[in-house]
Structure 1
Amino acid sequence: MSGTKLTPMMAQYQSMRRSLPDDVLLLFRLGDFYEMFFEDAQKAAPILNVALTRRNSVPMCGVPYHAADNYISRLVKAGKRVAIAEQTTDPVPGKIVEREITRIISAGSVIEEHLLDDSRPNHLAAVFSLGKKIGLACVDHTTGAFSVAEFDTRGALLDELARLTPSELLFSDEQHELFGDFRAGQPYDAFAFLPEPAGQLLCDHFSVHSLDGFGCHGLHAAVGAAGAVLHYLIHQLRRPCDHLRTLKVREDARTVLIDAASQANLDLIDSRSGRKHTLLGVLDRTKTPMGARLLRDWILHPLRELEPLLARQDFIAAFLAEPFLHSKIRESLTGIRDVERTTVRLSQGAGNARDLLALATSLDHIPALKEDLISLGTTGPLEHLHDFTQLTELLSSALSDEPPAQIKDGGIIRDGHSAELDELRSASRDGKHWIAKLQEDERRRTGIDTLKVKYNNVFGYFIEITSAKLASATIPDDYTRKQTMANAERFITPALKEMENKVLGAEERAKQLEYELFLSLRQQVCTHLDPLQETAAAIAEIDVLAGLAETARAHNHCRPLLEESRRLEIQDGRHPVLEQTLVDEKFVPNDSTFEPEESLVQILTGPNMAGKSTYIRQVALITLMAQIGACVPAVAATVGLVDRIFCRVGASDDLSRGQSTFMVEMNETALILNHATDKSLVILDEIGRGTATFDGLSIAWAVAEHLHDTIACRTLFATHYHELTDLAETKTSVANFNVAVREWNDEIIFLRKILPGPADKSYGIQVARLAGLPAPVIDRARDILSHLEMHSAKPDAKQRGPKAKNTRPKDMPEPNPPQLDLFG
């Protein structure tokens, strides 16, 4: 529109648009619609599935304001940021309506309930590399949780990001080469990441002289990332951040580290089979959204400190000892809504009267909850449940039983709360009664039995007489004709206009007063922000522990003995997920015993489908459950605390990075060997299967030796390389185990029981037959197998490695020359 003079409204729009980054879409309020213009309209129309139109050659599209939430949700889910320009003054003829950008919505900063999954956090994160350290800052804007951490390697950072799964990730626009490939990543002003101004911004926000009190001394990279997150929220998204009250430093020394691959292999929170087939899915018996989010965090960040784990165990034991109180407490929790996110919405100026009522209803359950917890004899979270009796009474007495979603349309405040409001309502009601009576009086006065007193937004109140009645009726002298319709005439009278002013004036003043009273109530809530956040955190912890107790009771879990050692002893252990989801057969429990001097590294052999992978995962999951403080699916268990859990299972490739199945396997194995300590738990399944037989066997042998000789950590090594069982002959802490099977009429029966000693054979051909391979293929495989067994030789254990011999049957063709594999 360079050659066209802009209208005042479009000039206002253009001024606002220039103040925003190019990738932000501006929704501009025009009456009952939010309109978008120019490139914003062209980008948004296909996402929203609305018509793209033009006016004076300007592309535009719009959505109704009352349905805007659904459309904004679509834009945010499509990865767009959305700015909302609201009307701040009422329309006046001849004068432009004032508008301002009230908020900018991005995936990592949404607080609107309909845009969120209440069972998982919504993280906005930032990363910053400085020297040899990589800083990470993470904010859940919906709850006020704000944390930082530093990492030595990119891999460790990626593992933590896999646990946090941020919706939005910022990095310095000068570090695009380092972080430009990160999921949900976007560049941001490099100045915001500089440690000195970032630290000053954080100090100003928290009103402190130094960040040392938060544990941030020397964490310059983390401080840079944290300052960038805060700068982005305040200056880019224009969000109030008063609810960010503290900064937490995540320390590796306090939690069990689980890398991204291990997290996926153990199906902790996500699974291709669905949520119910995850550890989170079977443990989650929480009653509140806060509890569901906290349980998720506990599973992804188990503890390795004995004292807090014992405190959690004691709490669960108290629940199990008092089933009646346990049931009452869970019933109280059922009535508590999402206090955490509701409080934040209200503090951000986004909450409505329904949020206030939900908060009041939730807080009303706290006295009974505290009383039952005292009877239970527990402390801990109880100390952080604050008394909100006065606030609850205020909200309950002020709010109507079913307030509307809109905060400016009235109907929020209960009769009797405000004398001034009651008077205005009375005036409005009395006036409407007078108008209703006027219709009857005018019908008698005019003799027109169809005369009606009506109302619309244009003319206000008026008297309507049909054209058919006008011909035979005498119109009173005080009637003034206002409008002629096709089938009727509309009139007003001085008395009607006088009462209209009283009625409509009272309604408008009542609505305005209700809005002011609502803002006052919302402000009252904001003065309790700190105790509300503490209370929400305490409720979440109580909810998680009560849910874990419910799981323990329902599935006969036991309290494990925790100690600072390398022991791991499980009696009749069960897979926590499969024992709840298995349908076709009964789950068979198994013992597991790791003794540092006898069976630290355990080689597990047996056929496919026999249950090796289930068993080794079972050990890892029981260990993890013990280190979140939960009871475990076993008759008894002793768990020496681990610092890391590694789980290398299955085969997959990463074509997007040009990595073959074998390369992915080797990358994951390298991560284990480079980071495991003598306190780690390592679960390995089929190392070396992605390459030639003797290459793979050699690698598997060397990996097992390294885990035993150099790292000396608890290891479960499931393999089809029977040659590895010879390690037990030369390694003092290597023990062999197998999954029991029985043969009957050329069929195999899986007994699912783990027994000492190596398996006698792999039964691969029998499993192939069960899978439906054609009979000629099975027969040929048996013939080839007999040749291989006749000419094979075991590895020489004394030489600590396998010997390679030509074991090809004479009638098998020579292999083709090696070909270049373009696909890795």
Structure 2
Amino acid sequence: LANCEEWNADLVEKARKVLSEIRSTLVDEPPVQLKNGGLIRKGVNAQLDELIDLSTNSHELIMQLEAREKELTGITSLKVRFNNVFGYYIEITNTHKDKVPTDRYDRKQTLANAERYLTKELAELETKVLSAQSKRLELEIAMFTALVASCLKETRSLLGIANSWAEIDVVTALACLAIEQNYVRPQLSLAGNLNLRASRHPVIEQALSLPFVANDVHLAKGGTLLLTGPNMAGKSTLMRQIAVSAILAQTGSFVPAKEAELPVFDRLFTRIGASDFLSEGLSTFMVEMKETAEMLQMATENSLVILDEVGRGTSTYDGMSLAQAILEFLVENKKSMTLFATHYHELTELSTAYPQVVNGHMRIHEEMTSSGPEIRFLHQLAKGPANKSYGIHVGKLAGLPSSVTKRATSILKKLEMSGRRVDVNQMSLLQILDSSPIAEENLFDALERKVELPPL
């Protein structure tokens, strides 16, 4: 945008000339296809105007010729007709054949009650009418091709001004959005801290009928926010809105918050949601591990890493072990700013070993009703780990049969009272790793070995 003055005089003038040529040549609403013509305005080419009149007004021209011949001959019953054998001809009944001007009329056919004639003027009109459409199409395509060639000569200038206008369009759109949605100008933190007050998700808040629940997020350089809590509580949304705010800030945009201080990230890594590549023989867990391995290789202390429920695609102990090892590796080795959501509540103990790990959870309001305990998601970020999972409640909200949720509640109470875990006898994917502890700096190598496909 700093170069607007430089391109304004030259490029804008060239663009105006191209636009003027297009507007003066083409009709206001050109057809999608060229095969039927109708592209070029009247008045651009005299020959084309005549062909257009002939192709669109042929019936009127024939009627005009018929009227003139009636007046010249005095034969009121004279008719100009057409068939596929003779084309256009003049038909006169035998009653009036003595009035036929033989110096201009050439007899073509004799019928029982009439004679058919041809004149030079009618023959010329017939030739023009029958060939007008094809000639019109050829001329229109030739003129359109010439117009395209003329525009292509200014391709460099047009692309240059298009890029500038596109940039203006984007900046203007972001400015309007900032005003309409009350965004704030972010401050860049040289210390690498992240502070968002009343942060919002720019897309979800516009899709909701109710007010969006804003949240405050504070992380020091290299800090980790460890989020726990049930599904639907808002963990993924919170992480996404932080990532979007970081992207918006680094594009020069205002961000959806009341106050915003953000570091400059060199890269942003996300692993949110589940996907698989069945055509490549890769399961959801395989894809998760490959993408995580890539993150661990490429992340730096200036990166933002977002991981949502890593390890959920395998057995409980395998998944929890991997999640903890990955988180420890990020904290100790990469020192990246990290947002880590998990259902493994055991990981919250890492905050005692690593001061940079901050526990957080999304608040839930629980109350007893006549039908039993009911929960309501508040979507508010609070300090500390979640004290309950609420998985059964989420299942109830999803519409599971009451017999299933009641049975699940009964089983959960028994497990909590006995204090024991369910030991599922399945082969651990971690068994393929060395039995000795994994060095943190080699964790991503271990992950890559873990996800290798066996030979066919």
- What SS does the corresponding residue of 2:211 show, helix, strand or coil? coil
Deviations for 1:259-318, whole angstroms, at most 9, x for unmatched residues?
xxxxxxxxxxxxxxxxxxxxxxxxxxxxxxxxxxxxxxxxxxxxxxxxxxxxxxxxxxxx
Normalising by structure 2, what TM-score? 0.77
2:97 and 2:115 in contact (8 A); partners too:
no
- Mapping for residues 199-598 of structure 1, pairs under 5 Å: 379-380=2-3, 383-385=6-8, 386=11, 387-388=13-14, 389-397=16-24, 406=34, 412-415=40-43, 436-444=63-71, 448-454=75-81, 461-464=88-91, 470-474=93-97, 476=100, 477=102, 478-482=104-108, 490-497=116-123, 518-563=144-189, 566-583=192-209, 585-596=210-221
Cα shift at 1:513? 6.6
Q: 1:707 to 1:502 in 2, by over 3 A?
A: closer
Cα shift at 1:760? 1.4
Q: 1:554 to 1:666 in 2, by over 3 A?
A: same
Q: Which of 257, 268, 272 is residue 634 of structure 1 equivalent to?
A: 257
- What SS does the corresponding residue of 1:592 show, helix, strand or coil? strand
Residue identity over aligned pairs, in percent, reads: 45
1:463 and 1:490 in contact (8 A); partners too:
yes
Q: 1:500 to 1:747 in 2, by over 3 A?
A: closer
Deviates more, 1:625-634 or 1:509-518: 509-518
1:432 and 1:503 in contact (8 A); partners too:
no
Q: 1:486 to 1:715 in 2, by over 3 A?
A: farther
The CA distance in 2 between the partners of 1:751 and 1:434, in whole Å, is 79
The CA distance in 1 between the partners of 2:117 and 2:187, in whole Å, is 88
Q: 1:414 to 1:689 in 2, by over 3 A?
A: same
Cα shift at 1:448? 4.9
Q: Which residue matches 2:439?
A: none
- What SS does the corresponding residue of 2:231 show, helix, strand or coil? coil
- Unpaired segments ≥5 residues, structure 2: 429-453
Cα shift at 1:406? 3.9
The CA distance in 2 between the partners of 1:718 and 1:786, in whole Å, is 26
Q: Which residue matches 1:611?
A: 234
Q: Which of 257, 260, 278 is residue 655 of structure 1 equivalent to?
A: 278
Deviations for 1:132-175, whole angstroms, at most 9, x for unmatched residues?
xxxxxxxxxxxxxxxxxxxxxxxxxxxxxxxxxxxxxxxxxxxx
- What SS does the corresponding residue of 1:751 show, helix, strand or coil? strand
Deviations for 1:147-204, whole angstroms, at most 9, x for unmatched residues?
xxxxxxxxxxxxxxxxxxxxxxxxxxxxxxxxxxxxxxxxxxxxxxxxxxxxxxxxxx
Q: Which of 700, 713, 717 is residue 336 of structure 2 equivalent to?
A: 713
Q: 1:785 to 1:640 in 2, by over 3 A?
A: same
Cα shift at 1:738? 1.1
Q: Which residue matches 1:36?
A: none
The CA distance in 2 between the partners of 1:617 and 1:419, in whole Å, is 63
Q: Which residue matches 1:174?
A: none
Q: CA RMSD in A?
A: 4.0
Match of 1:643, as an amino acid? D
Q: Which residue matches 1:701?
A: 324
2:42 and 2:49 in contact (8 A); partners too:
no
2:309 and 2:342 in contact (8 A); partners too:
yes
Q: 1:692 to 1:538 in 2, by over 3 A?
A: same
Q: Which residue matches 1:747?
A: 374
Q: 1:815 to 1:718 in 2, by over 3 A?
A: closer
- Mapping for residues 802-817 of structure 1, pairs under 5 Å: 807-808=421-422
Q: Which residue matches 1:764?
A: 391
Residue correspondences, number: 417
- Mapping for residues 35-184 of structure 1, pairs under 5 Å: none
The CA distance in 1 between the partners of 2:195 and 2:163, in whole Å, is 34
Q: 1:586 to 1:419 in 2, by over 3 A?
A: closer
Cα shift at 1:709? 0.3
- Unpaired segments ≥5 residues, structure 1: 1-377, 793-805, 809-813
Cα shift at 1:754? 0.4
Q: 1:695 to 1:617 in 2, by over 3 A?
A: same
The CA distance in 1 between the partners of 2:180 and 2:307, in whole Å, is 31
The CA distance in 2 between the partners of 1:539 and 1:458, in whole Å, is 61
Match of 1:567, as an amino acid? N
The answer to whether 1:625 aligns with 2:251 is no
1:572 and 1:591 in contact (8 A); partners too:
yes
- What SS does the corresponding residue of 2:97 show, helix, strand or coil? coil
Q: 1:774 to 1:509 in 2, by over 3 A?
A: closer
The CA distance in 1 between the partners of 2:289 and 2:129, in whole Å, is 79
Cα shift at 1:662? 2.4
Cα shift at 1:602? 1.2
1:425 and 1:510 in contact (8 A); partners too:
yes
Q: Which residue matches 2:290?
A: 667
Q: Which of 700, 721, 729 is residue 352 of structure 2 equivalent to?
A: 729
The CA distance in 1 between the partners of 2:275 and 2:125, in whole Å, is 78
Cα shift at 1:422? 7.8
1:381 and 1:541 in contact (8 A); partners too:
no
Deviations for 1:397-439, whole angstroms, at most 9, x for unmatched residues?
5556566664895772542x5678789999999x999865542
Q: 1:485 to 1:695 in 2, by over 3 A?
A: farther
The CA distance in 1 between the partners of 2:353 and 2:216, in whole Å, is 25
Cα shift at 1:678? 1.5
Deviations for 1:373-412, whole angstroms, at most 9, x for unmatched residues?
xxxxx64456445113444445545556566664895772
Q: 1:448 to 1:554 in 2, by over 3 A?
A: same
Q: Who wins on radius of gyration, i.e. which is larger?
A: 2
Match of 2:310, as an amino acid? I
The CA distance in 1 between the partners of 2:114 and 2:199, in whole Å, is 85
Match of 1:590, as an amino acid? N
Cα shift at 1:528? 1.8
- What SS does the corresponding residue of 2:80 show, helix, strand or coil? strand
Q: 1:406 to 1:790 in 2, by over 3 A?
A: closer
Q: Which residue matches 1:778?
A: 405
The CA distance in 1 between the partners of 2:258 and 2:299, in whole Å, is 29
2:196 and 2:217 in contact (8 A); partners too:
yes
- What SS does the corresponding residue of 1:474 show, helix, strand or coil? helix
The CA distance in 1 between the partners of 2:164 and 2:365, in whole Å, is 53
Deviations for 1:213-237, whole angstroms, at most 9, x for unmatched residues?
xxxxxxxxxxxxxxxxxxxxxxxxx
Q: Which residue matches 1:327?
A: none
- What SS does the corresponding residue of 1:772 show, helix, strand or coil? coil
Q: 1:485 to 1:740 in 2, by over 3 A?
A: farther
The CA distance in 1 between the partners of 2:191 and 2:81, in whole Å, is 84
The CA distance in 1 between the partners of 2:107 and 2:396, in whole Å, is 95
2:194 and 2:221 in contact (8 A); partners too:
no
- Mapping for residues 186-201 of structure 1, pairs under 5 Å: none
Q: Name which structure has the greater RCO, CA cutoff 8 Å, separation 6+.
A: 2
